[in-house]
A and B are shown apart, each in its own frame.
Chain A
Amino acid sequence: MGTLSPDSPWTIWVIFSPLAGAVFTFLWPRRARLAVPLVALGTVGSVACLVWQVAELGVQSHALGGWAAPLGINLYADGLSAMMLLTTALVGAAVTFYATEYFRRASETARYFWPLWLCLWTALNALFLSWDIFNLYVAFELLGLAAIALVALAGSADALTGAMRYLLVSLLGSLTYLLGVALFYSTYGTLDIGLLGDLTAPSAASWAATGLMVAGLLLKTALFPLHFWLPPAHAAAPTPVSAILSALVVKASFYLLLRLWLEVFPVTAAGLGHLLGLLGALAIVWGSLQALRQTRLKLLVAYSTVAQLGYLFLAFPLALSPVAATAWSASVFFILSHALAKAAMFLAAGNILRFAGHDRIAELGRAPYGVSLSWAAFGVAGISIIGLPPSVGFAAKWLQLEAALAGGQWWWTLPIVGGGLLATAYVFKIISCVFSQNGRTSGTNGISWRMEWTAFGLSLAALGIGFAAPQLLALLNSGTPLALHEVGSAP
């Protein structure tokens, strides 16, 4: 099998390029500056090839070890996996570029950033490709441990407390999920998502398994009111890590919830769907109000993540209608939009923090003049967060409103529109700093052009990728991942 032919297994390279990079950067930390760009290029290249395969040839799968399910583990890539991988690659490449500059001086920390981050990248890619519920648990362990270690890398008391709480939450979520896996396996005798989907039927055990897995994943996705661990951990982490966590890591557990909801869970979960939607709506309101109340820049951005995650969950009730695919697509677009925009915001916030030496919003008055491009990035990313055209955030909201109206559930438009207004308020709270004359910040720490342009570039991508929405929608529907596995989505 030639490695460059159309049917070569890019799924494997997508997972093992970053993992090999992690081992390498651990063994030869001094060569990291040379190796990391190559590893990032290799990973992004593999993802690009895989996305091309999925778009042109349809679903890609790989039976690891040559053993088909149920005995072995399958890797499986359809449009949904491809979108998640693509999002991860875009943000991952930008953050890698940013981090080479961010960690230039702090050598001891930098040494461990690279293997940790490359392990995290591996875990994300493995998660988006795995088609086996136990293997997904292992991927989660890898993801959680890497994320926690990265938070603790900041070394401050806040970071260590946040990391500790994150660790406990993450373990609780994983174990709850694992309990559900055990129940499914003892009931149906398989771990393969596809085979399980054919077998699951409503029963006490499969309901218990569903409940446990949903609960574990909600905890990891930080859906209101289980969001308490997110703001301290995301705000206290080093800047590139904040971006990775908010943009990608919380989306991974949402992705899995979506996947299992569509493929595995016995489908009569209408009540649960409405509950998730309600919690999502509350998350939008509560997260936005908390964001408005914050006095620290990074905490504000972190609470904005709590709010934005709420939008993802509106799809669960909206999909209980004939326009289910539209509702699900909206959530996937939200993931892409929020990943790019929030990464841009965190990187910009990190630049401002490093430049001014603090991130107290009220005293940032004069900081703008040194890091104007970062402030611009904040504003442009704000357009996506608020959901104005032409950003991909607008496309997501448009799809969601369409699903709400066409599905006859107009009341869900209230949190969608109201959340946009609240987002406008907190974005303007920050932007208004630029025009105020308060504070006496005179930055002394120079910020390199790379750090500024990465933030700005990401925010432009969030804005501009909206133009590719039709192509992305076509990619997403490759292999029809968004169709419910069984008939009977309506209660």
Chain B
Amino acid sequence: MDGAVNAAAWAFDALLVLTLLWLAWRVLMGPDLFKSIVFFIAFGLVMALAWVRLRAPDVALAEAAIGAGLTGALFLAALSRLAAGERIANAKRPVENSDTGKSTRPHRGVRMVFIAMSALFFGGLAAALLSLPAEAPGLTIQVAENLSTSGVSNPVTAVLLNFRGYDTLLEMGVLFLAVVAAWSLTPAPKEPVSPPGIVLASFVRVLSPMLLLAAGYLLWAGTHAPGGAFQAGSVLAAAAVLLLLSGKDMKANWPEWPLRVVLGLGLGVFIAIGLVMMLIGHRFLEYPLDYAGDLILLIEVAATLSIGVTLAALFLGGRPQRDERK
């Protein structure tokens, strides 16, 4: 019986690996960018399954929400702007140089060299990986030993918000920076808002409150089960993207200044709590035992809001237009 289950698991894993490789190939090699993006989204979803098989449900959730969902949406938004004026289906990869009609593919010999180098690189890496100890030493034991004093019972949240909270703080900085960078580049394009079809409109009406609920649940669940600020934030962002797609004018409801405040909130609260801990005599970001759970939740609430709004702002693709008329 056990043998049969094992064989089935092996077969499933093999299928996952082959599907991933095939999808990756299609993403890279397809001539049609739109199809590549669709394959990329599929790749993300299958990758999420792979993470489940590797017993990393937190990563699987993040991969599905951010890797497949939001990154896919960002790619589609970028594609629609690349192909502005053309039909999306016409947006081909720039294989042909349109001016000269000459192929820009590198010479056959050059390609061979690259293939050989890639094979060498891959082989070396594979050899290194196979030489690794079967049981990774890791820090699982230390994490488990200190979990009771971390304020939460989900080890992943304990690592992200307590043991290595500083990493997460800097990651919040990266997200904040991403919005600043996107805003510095260009104003958000004014896209003609076509009235959504009845299906989309009613679908969004039902779905968005449920997404909000799901985000709240993921946030709350993060303390003891897979979930947390990043997953909740990306679900929040998904709701915002749907609302934007269905023609809701967010700018009317979100004047610029409150938007900025929410964008900076996650990072600001994180820094403030870290510094306050230091000023009352602890180390930076060292939570007093009794308040650890509450402080982590506070940080996560702020982070969820910021992450959601950040990802939605990136989807919009530029600073609010309001900036322009001064």
In the docked arrangement, what's the CA distance between A73 and B167, Å?
8
B-chain residues with CB within 8 Å of residue A189 when the two chains form the complex: 136-139
Tell whether B275 is near chain A: CB-to-CB under 8 Å: yes
In the docked arrangement, what's the CA distance between A209 and B173, Å?
27
B-chain residues with CB within 8 Å of residue A208 when the two chains form the complex: 124-125, 127-128
The distance from the CB of A201 to the nearest CB of chain B, in whole angstroms, is 13
B-chain residues with CB within 8 Å of residue A1 when the two chains form the complex: 278, 281
B-chain residues with CB within 8 Å of residue A134 when the two chains form the complex: 167
Among B170, B178, B184, B274, which residue has its beta carbon within 8 angstroms of that of A126? B170
**Count the A-B residue pairs with Cβ separation under 8 angstroms: how many?**
157
Tell whether B174 is near chain A: CB-to-CB under 8 Å: yes
The distance from the CB of B266 to the nearest CB of chain A, in whole angstroms, is 10
* Beta-carbon contact of A27 and B185 below 8 Å: no
B-chain residues with CB within 8 Å of residue A115 when the two chains form the complex: 177, 180
* Mask: chain B, 257-285; 1 = CB below 8 Å from A; 0 = not: 00011011001100100110011011111
* Beta-carbon contact of A64 and B285 below 8 Å: yes
Given A23-B271, A141-B174, A142-B170: A64 in contact with B283 (beta carbons within 8 A):
yes
Tell whether B98 is near chain A: CB-to-CB under 8 Å: no
A-chain residues with CB within 8 Å of residue B278 when the two chains form the complex: 1, 9, 12
B-chain residues with CB within 8 Å of residue A73 when the two chains form the complex: 164, 166-167
Given A73-B164, A119-B177, A208-B124: A187 in contact with B284 (beta carbons within 8 A):
no
* Beta-carbon contact of A205 and B128 below 8 Å: yes
* Beta-carbon contact of B128 and A23 below 8 Å: no
The distance from the CB of B150 to the nearest CB of chain A, in whole angstroms, is 9
- B284-304 at interface with A (beta carbon < 8 Å): 284-287
The distance from the CB of B243 to the nearest CB of chain A, in whole angstroms, is 24
B-chain residues with CB within 8 Å of residue A63 when the two chains form the complex: 283
* Beta-carbon contact of B142 and A122 below 8 Å: no
Tell whether B84 is near chain A: CB-to-CB under 8 Å: no
The distance from the CB of B131 to the nearest CB of chain A, in whole angstroms, is 4
Tell whether A16 is near chain B: CB-to-CB under 8 Å: yes
Count, chain A residues at interface, CB 8 A: 58
A-chain residues with CB within 8 Å of residue B74 when the two chains form the complex: none
* Mask: chain B, 114-147; 1 = CB below 8 Å from A; 0 = not: 0000000000110111011100111100110010
In the docked arrangement, what's the CA distance between A15 and B242, Å?
38
* Beta-carbon contact of A149 and B275 below 8 Å: no
Given A65-B286, A71-B163, A205-B132: A16 in contact with B181 (beta carbons within 8 A):
no
Q: Which B residue's beta carbon lies closest to that of A67?
A: B163
Given A16-B271, A135-B167, A190-B139: A116 in contact with B181 (beta carbons within 8 A):
yes
Q: Which B residue's beta carbon lies closest to that of A74?
A: B166
Tell whether A188 is near chain B: CB-to-CB under 8 Å: yes
A-chain residues with CB within 8 Å of residue B261 when the two chains form the complex: 27
In the docked arrangement, what's the CA distance between A115 and B283, Å?
27
In the docked arrangement, what's the CA distance between A330 and B285, Å?
38
* Beta-carbon contact of B139 and A71 below 8 Å: yes
* Beta-carbon contact of A108 and B286 below 8 Å: no
Tell whether B183 is near chain A: CB-to-CB under 8 Å: yes
* Beta-carbon contact of B143 and A116 below 8 Å: no
Count, chain B residues at interface, CB 8 A: 52
* Mask: chain A, 218-231; 1 = CB below 8 Å from B; 0 = not: 00000000000000
Tell whether B157 is near chain A: CB-to-CB under 8 Å: no
* Beta-carbon contact of A72 and B163 below 8 Å: yes
Among B143, B264, B323, which residue has its beta carbon within 8 angstroms of that of A26? B264
Among B174, B178, B268, B284, which residue has its beta carbon within 8 angstroms of that of A23? B268
In the docked arrangement, what's the CA distance between A112 and B179, Å?
11
The distance from the CB of B191 to the nearest CB of chain A, in whole angstroms, is 21
* Beta-carbon contact of B128 and A207 below 8 Å: yes
The distance from the CB of A67 to the nearest CB of chain B, in whole angstroms, is 5
Give the 5 A-B residue pairs with the shortest CB-CB distance, closest first: A189-B137, A66-B286, A112-B184, A208-B128, A149-B181
30 of the cross-chain contacts (CB-CB < 8 Å) are A9-B284, A22-B180, A23-B271, A26-B260, A62-B284, A64-B165, A65-B162, A66-B282, A66-B285, A70-B139, A70-B142, A71-B143, A111-B184, A112-B184, A116-B184, A122-B173, A126-B170, A138-B174, A145-B177, A146-B177, A148-B181, A149-B180, A149-B185, A183-B128, A185-B136, A186-B137, A204-B128, A205-B128, A205-B131, A211-B124
Residues of A within 8 A of B (CB): 1, 3, 9, 12, 16, 19-20, 22-23, 26-27, 62-67, 70-73, 108-109, 111-113, 115-116, 119, 122, 126, 134-135, 138-139, 141-142, 145-146, 148-149, 152-153, 179, 183, 185-190, 203-205, 207-209, 211
Residues of B within 8 A of A (CB): 124-125, 127-129, 131-133, 136-139, 142-143, 146, 162-167, 170-171, 173-174, 176-178, 180-181, 183-185, 260-261, 263-264, 267-268, 271, 274-275, 278-279, 281-287, 323
